[in-house]
Chains A and B, each alone.
Chain A
Amino acid sequence: MLTANSSQTIATDRGAPFVLTASERESIEHAMHHYADPRAATIDALKIVQANHRWVPDGAITAIADVLGVSAADVEGVATFYNRIYRKPVGRHVIAVCDSTSCFLMGFDQLYGALQQKLAISPGQTTPDDRFTLLPIVCLGACDKAPVLMINDTTHFNVTAENIDSLLEQYK
């Protein structure tokens, strides 16, 4: 078992020690009450941290493990399994482009290509100004309005290479 204080001494990738804020800790403890076992709040906890930091720094893994009473290895195992949890820094806005069947049929390749060209990055990368990260994602459940992408928590429908400029302008 890790001690309650261990999280405070572990440096993050960015050099500063990681400490959960009081409100993060409170949110995690609240999430635990929904389940028979605190472990079940692991994903909630990772999302709570990610909502404040955009990604999940190393120190947060141990800090979350402490609160939930599970091993840091288990928290890391969960953090690395799910594609919507980021274990590397991402930009201010994450663009997730659906690359599944219906979007593929309706012009995903052109859209993805145009985004890469416009942002001058490859999938998985972040623009140098930290504004956008570009990622692929599975079917977003809006295949009748393909091609589809998400920016942060908002889904955009019928997105084409022609209308990406005005779309990206909404995200500074």
Chain B
Amino acid sequence: MTSNVNIGLTNVGPETHPLTWRYTKAGKAVVEIKEYEAMEGYAALKKAVTMQPTDIQAQVKAANLRGRGGAGFPTGVKWSLIPMGADAGQKYLVCNADEMEPGTFKDRMLMEELPHQMVESMVLAAYAIGATKGYIFLRGEYVLAGERLNAAIDQAKAAGYIGENILGSGFNFELHVHLGAGRYICGEETALINCLEGRRANPRTKPPFPQQAGAWGRPTIVNNVETLMNVPAILLRGADWFKGLSQGKSTDSGTKMYGISGKAKITGLWELPIGTSCRELLYTLGGGMADGLGLMCWLPGGASTDFLMDEHLDLPMDFDTIAKAGSRMGTALITVIDDKQNILSVVRNLEQFFSRESCGWCTPCRDGLPWTVKLMESIEAGEGQEGDIETLHQLTRFLGPGKTFCAHAPGAMEPLQSALKFFPEEFKKGIVQKGIKA
């Protein structure tokens, strides 16, 4: 079943919509290599192999492409940290296609509808960092994406875009789709590497960062699907063009896949200038709230982002602005929560997710998240004890940034801490007052 993509957008083209124009123009998935080639497909790769890899890195840096996996780390900077030169040895490129952040469904669409764009992006990025082997780490549940990617890889091999001496450049590259077997934590890049190596997906210490010692101890770049799929257009049209795509809405560059799920009239995905506001997204493209409902709050980009309110609707949705507002842009697919919901139930559901998905490696997360769920359950049932709210506040600190082995637990604390901030009265209502149940 095809997603709602770019509903209501006009004039979708290569100049304005580098990620999705082919899909929108074709009106369907672009799975055949001939169709893709007829729409500028593999043109960027042909250009790339005439360039120095470090020049491609420099161009991606100049374009200020920031990671679309949620953290917004500058991609060009990450690439520049990988050792280059003849003695650098085996290097790997890994695409993070493990999309499991609740509320996020962009990488699925990009891979299902535009598999060749994914493949071209991989070959191109691999050339830029000098990796001769690449993996697309795909969550096992994305069956259709897996089929289409494998078919695209076969076609690309037959066409000489993958394999030995690609396009006469002397560059060799092998690409394999690695299927996961579940668990949200596999999306954390060092856990992902452990999973790729056939181990339990516990994260690794950083440093060393994957750029220095990643898969099988070799220098490895891990990038998100959407991040990588921007690279061919940057190479074809240049860094300045990419910077201009935000149309002055943000100092960030490019477009972004924005999306809506939850209680909006229209749900789906849109490729928009980065810095588009939530109001424009939700009330213009999403048609506003579903009938009869008002907005209570929204998650800007997945379960691990702080709730935002009505007053934040006009902020440009970019990395720095949403961070300044006390949240994170995350994946930029918003989850819309209506005023008929019980915020305590919503938070409980979120914490159940994080608790179950904890990898169990470090104590604050392994013990703190089930505790958080227990407290939320009792407050939700109106059976919270005095001091429970203070304990929740304390947990947001004990499980906060820097206190745990990876960012899973701090992510789990984001919706909780913002709910405590915006809805203190709702929490108080769940506490037994002087022995009387609320």
A residues at B contact (CB < 8 Å): 34-37, 39-44, 46-47, 68, 70, 74, 77-78, 81-85, 99-102, 104-106, 137-146, 150, 153-155, 157
B102 touches A100 (CB 8 A): yes
Known contacts A36-B216, A141-B99; 16 additional CB pairs below 8 A are A34-B176, A39-B198, A82-B180, A82-B182, A84-B181, A100-B102, A100-B103, A101-B102, A101-B103, A101-B303, A105-B263, A138-B102, A141-B108, A144-B260, A144-B267, A144-B268
Per-residue A-contact encoding for B167-191, CB less than 8 Å = 1, 0 else: 0000000001011111110000000
- Contact (A101, B350) CB under 8 Å given A34-B178, A43-B180: yes
A138–B181 CA distance with the chains assembled, in angstroms = 12
The 6 closest A-B CB pairs, nearest first, are: A100-B102, A143-B261, A82-B181, A42-B198, A144-B267, A83-B182
A102–B333 CA distance with the chains assembled, in angstroms = 11
B184 touches A138 (CB 8 A): yes
Chain A neighbourhood of B197, CB < 8 A: 35, 37, 39-40
Chain A neighbourhood of B90, CB < 8 A: 36
A105–B180 CA distance with the chains assembled, in angstroms = 27
Closest to A143 in B: B261
Say if the beta carbon of B143 comes within 8 Å of chain A: yes
B183 touches A104 (CB 8 A): no
Nearest CB of chain B from residue A155's CB, rounded to whole Å: 7
Nearest CB of chain A from residue B216's CB, rounded to whole Å: 5
B140 touches A105 (CB 8 A): no
B261 touches A144 (CB 8 A): yes
- Contact (A102, B140) CB under 8 Å given A43-B195, A138-B353: no
Say if the beta carbon of B34 comes within 8 Å of chain A: no
Chain B neighbourhood of A138, CB < 8 A: 100, 102, 182, 184, 353, 356-357
A85 touches B181 (CB 8 A): yes
Nearest CB of chain B from residue A140's CB, rounded to whole Å: 6
A70–B1 CA distance with the chains assembled, in angstroms = 41
Partner of B104, one of A68, A70, A143, A153: A143
A43 touches B333 (CB 8 A): no
Say if the beta carbon of B141 comes within 8 Å of chain A: yes
B262 touches A106 (CB 8 A): yes
Say if the beta carbon of B107 comes within 8 Å of chain A: yes
Nearest CB of chain B from residue A169's CB, rounded to whole Å: 19
A83–B102 CA distance with the chains assembled, in angstroms = 17
A105 touches B262 (CB 8 A): yes
Count of B interface residues, CB-CB < 8 Å: 57
- Contact (A144, B353) CB under 8 Å given A46-B181, A100-B303, A105-B346: no
A-facing residues in B286-332 (Cβ within 8 Å): 299, 303
B178 touches A78 (CB 8 A): no
- Contact (A43, B198) CB under 8 Å given A101-B299, A105-B262, A141-B142: yes
A39 touches B261 (CB 8 A): no
Closest to B133 in A: A36
Nearest CB of chain A from residue B80's CB, rounded to whole Å: 25
A78 touches B199 (CB 8 A): yes
Nearest CB of chain B from residue A112's CB, rounded to whole Å: 12
A84 touches B182 (CB 8 A): yes
A78–B197 CA distance with the chains assembled, in angstroms = 11
Per-residue A-contact encoding for B153-173, CB less than 8 Å = 1, 0 else: 000000000000000000000
B141 touches A102 (CB 8 A): no
Say if the beta carbon of B196 comes within 8 Å of chain A: yes
Say if the beta carbon of B341 comes within 8 Å of chain A: yes
A158–B422 CA distance with the chains assembled, in angstroms = 31
A153–B101 CA distance with the chains assembled, in angstroms = 20
Most buried by B among A77, A82, A140, A143: A143
Say if the beta carbon of B201 comes within 8 Å of chain A: yes
Say if the beta carbon of B259 comes within 8 Å of chain A: yes
Say if the beta carbon of B52 comes within 8 Å of chain A: no
- Contact (A139, B181) CB under 8 Å given A101-B350, A144-B260: no
A146 touches B261 (CB 8 A): yes
Say if the beta carbon of B421 comes within 8 Å of chain A: no
B353 touches A41 (CB 8 A): no
B100 touches A141 (CB 8 A): yes
Most buried by B among A84, A99, A154: A84
Partner of B353, one of A44, A74, A100, A106: A100
Partner of A78, one of B100, B200, B263: B200
Nearest CB of chain B from residue A45's CB, rounded to whole Å: 9
Could you write out 5 A-B pairs with CB less than 8 Å apart? A43-B181, A83-B181, A100-B102, A105-B263, A138-B357
A41 touches B198 (CB 8 A): yes
A101–B105 CA distance with the chains assembled, in angstroms = 13
Nearest CB of chain A from residue B174's CB, rounded to whole Å: 9
Nearest CB of chain B from residue A129's CB, rounded to whole Å: 26
A99–B357 CA distance with the chains assembled, in angstroms = 12
